[in-house]
Amino acid sequence: MTKLLLNKSLIYIIIGGLFWVATINSCAYYNTFYNAQQYFEEALKDYKKEKDSKMSVALRRKFDSAIEKANKVIIEYPDSKWTDDALYIIALSYYYKGDYIGAKKKFEEFIMQYHRSELLPEIEIWYGRDLWKMGEHELALHHLRKISTSIDDPLLLSEVYYAIAELFQEQNDRDSSLFYFTKVTKLGKGEDIYAEAQFKIAEIYLERDQIQEAVENLKRVSRYSPPPELKDQMQILLAKIYRESGRYDEARELIMVKLNDPENENIWKALELELALIYLAEEDYEPAMSRFSHISETYKRTPESAEAYRYRAKLNMTYFHDYEKAQNQFDMVSKEDPKSKFALEAKQKSLDIKRFFKVKKNLDASVKQILELNKTLTESEDKTIKEIDENISPEDLKKAVEEQEMARRKQIDTLAVFADYYKNIYEMAELYYFNFQQVDSAVINFEKIAHSDLYNPYIEKAFYALYYVYDNEQDSVTASFYKNVLREQYPDSPYLSFIEKKEIILPKMERDAEKLYLKSEGLFNSDPDSAITFLISIHDNYPLFLYGEKSVLSIAWLYQHRIFNIDNAILWYKSFMDFYPNSPFFSDVQHQYNELSDILANITNQDSTGVLPPTLQSETKDLHVIPDNASIELDTSSTTTELPIKSGTSIKTTEDKIQK
């Protein structure tokens, strides 16, 4: 009996031991998963704060730590109930890091292994978003529409429709986006997603300039019990609606009430930006500049600060005419917010001002040379090249030949100096008109060329430029005058042909490159992957043109700031430096390349692949490499006719009112 009791006691001890072992193991893999979850939630929280700016190395490391801990759960505890949650964390961490290829692999792995998981519907939605990010737009929409037919839960179905609406919104397809956001609002109330969808509807109506519909739909947001953050956004959007509809007093009153309430402190920067834009719309430039300056100094490293710097720069460039300040402020846009939608425009404007200073320096040098030449020409008694008498002595003949050659060289030099002088004035006039919106300054410089006969190859072109400016400014009388001057003095002018027949006489390849670039530029925000396809084509086919250079730079910028693929951004920046070592962009590109390379060196376990630059796609492909001494600038002394025409459409906005 005692022996039996001992045996039973032993059995209980063994069972108890096994229970405690199981409990300890369960705690171990739960703790590991809990750590992964904590890292992921912290990273996600930081991501929402940083989503409008550059992803920091620290944030990437948090996502990497979440991946590492979640992988440990799957590898060391493959039979635990947390493996699907762990894979969910891994897939989304890759997605948020911008590694869409890595995320795609994990999403597909989840769908294959955990087809009964409660997380599967959410994974399916994220998979559709990931396909879109990879440029598989049709496949993404097909996938999301397909899963929408098999979902019964209204909240999950709302998420699917919301995702589809966002995808159409990225493509600037407002009608389709509006349709799906509306479908979301019809599925329920009480959840944030319904209020957010209704808010998006109001934004779309404002974008379509349907002010009344925007106001009505904004009011409807309140029906869905919006969260505090969305209520703040509603106030900002209402102020924007009032401003864009010209109801400045109402907008100002609303903003001032909110600015005087400490509870609205988190939206003060957005409200102050709206207030500054009201002053700008009213053409009250001094208060506008003061308010923009206050924003950029008070709310540093924010999207609002970046936008304020942009407007400060535009005012300095077009109204206050302080180009040096304008250049510095344009450079500040990307420093304040590297992901700003104005970053690329600001960089180009900064380069325009650099070009202006360069042209001005060249013009000053040309003026000095001309003053010296004029003095020489005035002092010279005989400006013609004398013919040589062949009957003179050999010694005198040699001396006469040398004098004739010297006179010929002096004449050639004189023509070159004057040609360069007029070229610089013409470039200055173009910059004033097209880049700085200073019509009067442009006209003065074009007229300076048109009314100067001395060694001037630019008169015909200047007459056309004056016609173009006055026609564009809707002064038909003056435009007609310059057209008649062209007809009388240059009846065979290709510029006259363009005016009367609308035949643009530009190098065909340059026109083709420009058309492709403008097309790609329209897709930078809505469809960066398609934009890159166009840009690669431009570089492959027109590497020697200005747009070939701009295309490589734009590809690198898009990978860095829109697609968030550091590997490809680095490759394209490197490709730019290899192709265009003499570019004015070179130092900026080199800085970006070094900065991204340092970031990449600190990131481990990267599994990113993607489109490679042309220099790396094939060793045998003819890349038309530009020699070191080549110039990408068009030769204005060429016989090919260039017209001072800016392509693209003009949209009247508040900033268009900044005129001299």
Q: What angle do CA 416, 419, 425 make, to 5 degrees?
A: 140
In this structure, what token pair is assigned to residue 361?
Answer: 């320096």
Task: Chunk the chain into consecutive blocks of 10 residues (it has 660) and report each block's average pLDDT, rounded to whole numbers.
Answer: 40 43 50 86 85 73 92 89 92 92 94 92 94 89 93 92 92 92 93 95 94 94 92 94 94 94 92 96 96 96 95 94 95 91 88 92 88 64 51 59 54 72 91 88 94 87 92 93 93 85 56 78 81 84 78 88 84 85 80 80 50 37 32 33 36 32
**Cα–chain center distance at 99:** 20
Single-letter amino acid code for the residue at 583: S
| Crossing angle for the helix pair 120-133 and 83-97, to the nearest 10 degrees | 20
* Residues 6 or more apart in contact with residue 42 via CB below 8 angstroms: 62
Phi, psi dihedral angles at 596 (to 5 degrees): -70, -35
- Nearest residue to 293 via CA among 261, 263, 316: 316
- pLDDT at position 177: 95
DSSP three-state, residue 341: coil
Task: State residue 390's pLDDT score.
Answer: 58
Residue type for position 565: N
Boundaries of every domain in the chain: 1-150, 508-640
**Torsions phi, psi for 387 (to 5 deg):** -80, 150
Q: How far apart are CA 529 and CA 45, in angstroms?
A: 27
Answer for the pair 407, 386: CB distance below 8 angstroms, yes or no: yes
Tell me which amino acid residue 405 is. E
pLDDT at 214: 95
Cα(637)–Cα(457) distance, rounded to whole angstroms? 9
Q: Would you state the pLDDT for residue 582?
A: 75
Answer for the pair 347, 334: CB distance below 8 angstroms, yes or no. yes
DSSP type of residue 274: H
pLDDT given at position 27: 55
Look-up: residue for tokens 């304020």? 308
Q: What is the rounded distance in angstroms from the CA atom of residue 237 to the CA atom of residue 240? A: 5
Determine what percent of the chain falls in helix, strand and coil, rounding each to the nearest 5: 75, 0, 25
Closest alpha carbon to 526 in 167, 177, 99, 50: 167
- The pTM of the full predicted model, rounded to 2 decimals, is 0.63
- For 213, the token pair is 């519909």
* Cβ–Cβ under 8 Å, residues 507 and 477: no
**Exposed (0-12), middle (13-18) or buried (19+): which is 407, by Cβ within 10 Å?**
middle
Identity (one letter) of the amino acid at 223? R
- CA dist., res. 340 & res. 54, Å (int): 10
Contact criterion met (CB below 8 Å) for 614 and 623 = yes
Cα 134 from Cα 563, distance rounded (Å): 9
Q: Which fold has domain 1-150?
A: 1.25.40
CA distance 461 to 641: 9
In the structure encoding, which two tokens stand for residue 493, read together? Answer: 């002018």
For residue 381, the Cα-to-chain-centroid distance in whole angstroms is 60
Look up residue 190 and give its amino acid.
Answer: G
Q: Are the CB atoms for 177 and 168 separated by under 8 Å?
A: yes
The size of the chain, in residues, is: 660
d(CA 241, CA 238) in angstroms, rounded, equals 5
